[in-house]
Amino acid sequence: MRLSAYFLPTIKETPSEAQIVSHRLMLRAGMIRQASAGIYSWLPLGFRVLKNIERIVREEQDRSGAQEVLMPTIQSADLWRQSGRYDAYGPEMLRIEDRHGRDMLYGPTNEELITDIFRTSVKSYRDVPKMLYHIQWKFRDEVRPRFGIMRGREFLMKDNYSFDIDLAGAKRAYNKMFVAYLRTFARMGLKAIPMEADTGPIGGNLSHEFIILADTGESAVYCHGDFLDFDVLGQDIDYEQDLEPIIADWTALYARTDEKHDAAMFEKEVPQENRVEKRGIEVGHIFYFGTKYSEPLGATIATPEGEQVPVHMGSYGIGVSRLAGAIIEASHDEAGIIWPEAVAPFKVGLINLKPADGDCTTACEDIYGKLRGAGVEVLYDDRDERAGTKFAEMDLIGLPWQLVAGPRGIAKGMVELKRRRDGEREELSLDSALSKVMP
């Protein structure tokens, strides 16, 4: 993509409404624009990031055996009356009336709908287990939206729902999601730590929040430092195998949010030097809720013995749009965003320092063509701007690699390759620079 043709409205000054760093940077980098309180438009750069996050989430859901569906944003109130949540949910639910006077709502979540889909078509134990997920916009009319995209009213969420004949089956589904989440966040370059969470009225220990550490996180979290060295991507995972050992590894050490924190236990279980006390952002939540919805909605299946039992369900959410902000909270510096490669809107930013210079521009066009030919996503700054502006904007939008070509270097056949993460620069020949950023 040529920057001269790209819609990238960057802002030098910080918009006054943005307080936290991800919100400021997303506005400044031209990723999003606020439409109204807690509701945002995604501009080209931000949308690319959102799509990358979504893609990784989808790939890992599919890998775990979940199947993608797409349910509507607008739901009928009828189902919610059956589950008892139409009244229970309160003013957070955006209620709508259609032209016929029917009560509708903009879905804040989809348990009712998915349970309805399941109950009308699944009748036998032979048809489970199943995991159905979708990635869809939700709306929760928060009293006070804040933190930009991180806590908007409208947000993109992946929610998966598992259906099993009994608790043991549900536990297997839970474990699959647990591992899928570890992989999902790791692929995005995040250290996500599963922390014990409240299970509500169901009880048991089948509820975890996945938390990433960031100074600006919304809640205090406490965990063992060894979590930061765990590597899930290095493992070869077979989702049909028993995942219990992996779960055991990841739940053996202390990790709790402040709601569940027990200072005495923390100090007893974690040696002083390994105690991590930081702030965290919740990016995922998995939990088992048993027959909470299947019972009132009559989602029953027949056991091998012919008995009708309510199906056991779990629900597994990832805040897809929130992740865009969360990743920035976890990865930025004074100059701007630092994208992990997997979610970066482009892999390489090619800076032509002097478009007016024939040789320099010829070389840049050549590099641009070669990178694109190799399938590398590249944003080519071909604008007639000053060098300082180009450097500053490229740092701001945070592409992992910057390839800088100026007349002086080009005359010697050299370009500069800068790694955004640590600012390390290398003067390289054209070919070796290219080979470094090509797959």
Residues forming the site for RNA (CB under 7 A): 10-17, 19, 28, 34, 36-38, 92, 140, 142-147, 150-153, 155, 157, 209, 218-219, 282-285, 317, 319, 321-322, 335, 353-354, 356, 386-389, 391-396, 404-409, 416, 418, 425
DSSP tag of 69: -
189 vs 325 by CB, closer to RNA: 325
What is the rounded CA–CA span in Å between residue 33 and residue 7? Answer: 13
Contact 83, 297 (CB under 8 A): yes
Question: In whole angstroms, how close is the CB of 126 to RNA at the nearest point?
Answer: 33
What is the rounded CA–CA span in Å between residue 85 and residue 292? Answer: 11
Contact 135, 149 (CB under 8 A): no
Contact 176, 239 (CB under 8 A): yes
219 vs 300 by CB, closer to RNA: 219
Question: In whole angstroms, how close is the CB of 289 to RNA at the nearest point?
Answer: 12
Question: In whole angstroms, how close is the CB of 195 to RNA at the nearest point?
Answer: 11
284 vs 290 by CB, closer to RNA: 284
Residues present in the chain in total: 439
CB count, 10 Å around CB of 48?
Answer: 19
116 vs 395 by CB, closer to RNA: 395
CB count, 10 Å around CB of 228?
Answer: 12
Question: In whole angstroms, how close is the CB of 100 to RNA at the nearest point?
Answer: 26
99 vs 144 by CB, closer to RNA: 144
305 vs 334 by CB, closer to RNA: 334
36 vs 120 by CB, closer to RNA: 36
Q: How many CA atoms lie within 13 A of 207 on its CB side?
A: 15
Question: In whole angstroms, how close is the CB of 201 to RNA at the nearest point?
Answer: 13
Give 59: exposed, middle or buried? Use CB within 10 Å, 0-12, 13-18, 19+: middle
Helix (H, G, I), strand (E, B) or coil at 7: coil
Q: How many CA atoms lie within 13 A of 98 on its CB side?
A: 10
Contact 291, 312 (CB under 8 A): yes
39 vs 374 by CB, closer to RNA: 39
23 vs 119 by CB, closer to RNA: 23
Element (H, E) at 349: strand 348-352
Question: In whole angstroms, how close is the CB of 90 to RNA at the nearest point?
Answer: 8
Question: In whole angstroms, how close is the CB of 300 to RNA at the nearest point?
Answer: 27
What is the rounded CA–CA span in Å between residue 151 and residue 136? Answer: 16
Residues 6+ apart with CB under 8 A from 64: 131, 176, 177, 179, 180, 239
Question: In whole angstroms, how close is the CB of 306 to RNA at the nearest point?
Answer: 38
Distance of CA 193 to the CA centre of its chain: 14
Question: In whole angstroms, how close is the CB of 280 to RNA at the nearest point?
Answer: 12
